Amino acid sequence: MQYRTLGRTGVQVSSLALGAMNFGRIGRTTQDEATAIVDAALEGGINLIDTADMYSAGESEEMVGKAIAGRRDDIVLATKAGMPMGDERNHRGSSRRWLVTELDNSLRRLGVDHVDLYQIHRWDPNTSDEETLSALTDLQRAGKIRHFGSSTFPAYRIVQAQWAAREHHLSRYVTEQPSYSILQRGIESDVLPVTEQYGLGVLVWSPLASGWLSGAIREGREIATSRSTFMPERFDTTIPANRARLDAVERLAEVAEEAGLTMIQLALGFVTAHPAVTSALIGPRTLDHLHTQLAAADTVLSADVLDAIDAIVAPGVDLAAHEKHDTPPALLDPSLRRR
């Protein structure tokens, strides 16, 4: 396992980090299975665990808390807030009112008195940067969080938040957590240059592109991954974007085979090769999934392999641009672009 400094925090984290989204009802994972995954991840050198309040409506945080009991100080613990936690309209977003309340809920579920990294799950257009950063700064000074970061923010919002922190003399975001894979490289053109400019740590999610790069999806095979059962539109190969992904996967498989690598090693080795990336978040549902992903921990791709990947999916290109999670609201809601 490789270790890198998380931005400019001085905290050392593993190049592969354990994402706990599949703990609980989302991944149909029991407590015993989640604990076994955490045990194996720590034994394999992972020291960063990332979860969120909304994963299985808090169940993931509860499972993580039980799994790390007795060894909290050996783990860099991260969670997130901001996505809806029920139907109540104020139980979401990044207002001071909600963050102060929800952090206490997360600490209770995790069974800890602080988290090392508290992340705003999505940019909240209804709340000012000053409001959010002020609340996070106060929570940091209270000792409930050590650092805070953003997740899936557009590049211009990352910049704006840095400026707001400076203008109002507040603590700043020190990390960003974007989606990044061989098939979704859009952040190379905007987000990653910004994170490098401001010295942010980068924890990338979905490096296996929702299973497209796991090796299980190939031409002529029925697509029967866990994700495809509840998101079938993302795997329907009659849709042009999905057809483009499958074509790219077939060419990437040839590159991996020639290099003596699995598809998982190729995918994880690619994202961790970018100098702006600190860690890649893996989200195994089973121990077998974890072991196949841990096998990529020390994968270093040669320049020839990276060049071959660039020839298949060009730098800065998203093969499924409609799936981006940081699209400005006005592109999604026509009323916001009309007087």
Distances (CA, A) of 100 to 97, 136, 150, 292: 6, 8, 16, 39
Kindly report the number of other CB atoms within 10 A of residue 90's CB atom.
Answer: 9
- In angstroms, the CA 24 to CA 143 distance is 29
Q: Residues 75, 77, 82, CA angle at the centre, nearest 5°?
A: 175
Name the pTM for this structure.
Answer: 0.94
- In angstroms, the CA 250 to CA 228 distance is 18
The residue type of 157 is R
- In angstroms, the first-to-last Cα distance of the chain is 54
Per-residue pLDDT reduced to its tens digit, 263-288: 999 999 999 999 999 999 999 999 99
6-10, 102-106, 334-338 — which is least confidently predicted?
A: 334-338
Q: Delineate the domains of the chain, giving CATH numbers in brackets.
A: 3-336 (3.20.20.100)
Buried b / exposed e along 278-287 (16+ C-beta atoms within 10 A): bbbbbbbbee
DSSP string computed for 237-288: TTSHHHHHHHHHHHHHHHHHHHHT--HHHHHHHHHHHSTT--EEEE--SSHH
With a cut of 80, say whether residue 149 has pLDDT above it. yes
Bridge-based pairing state of the strands 3-5 and 12-14 = antiparallel
Dig out the tokens for 22 from the structure: 């599949």
With a cut of 70, say whether residue 229 has pLDDT above it. no
Higher local confidence (pLDDT), 334 or 200: 200
With a cut of 80, say whether residue 332 has pLDDT above it. no
Kindly report the number of other CB atoms within 10 A of residue 5's CB atom.
Answer: 13
Which residues are part of the catalytic machinery?
A: 55
Q: Is the dihedral of CA 222, 226, 229, 230 positive or negative?
A: negative
Q: Where are the alpha helices (DSSP H) in the chain?
A: 31-43, 59-68, 96-110, 129-141, 155-167, 191-198, 226-230, 240-259, 263-273, 287-294, 303-312, 329-332
Q: What is the mean pLDDT of the chain?
A: 94
With a cut of 80, say whether residue 77 has pLDDT above it. yes
pLDDT at residue number 333: 83
Per-residue pLDDT reduced to its tens digit, 287-303: 999 999 999 999 999 99
- In angstroms, the CA 171 to CA 164 distance is 10
Output 224-231 pairs: Cβ under 8 A, ≥24 positions apart. Answer: 226/27, 226/285
Per-residue pLDDT reduced to its tens digit, 170-191: 999 999 999 999 999 999 999 9
DSSP for residue 19: E
Mean pLDDT of 4-25: 97
With a cut of 90, say whether residue 236 has pLDDT above it. no
With a cut of 80, say whether residue 58 has pLDDT above it. yes
CB 299 within 8 A of CB 261: yes
CB 294 within 8 A of CB 16: yes
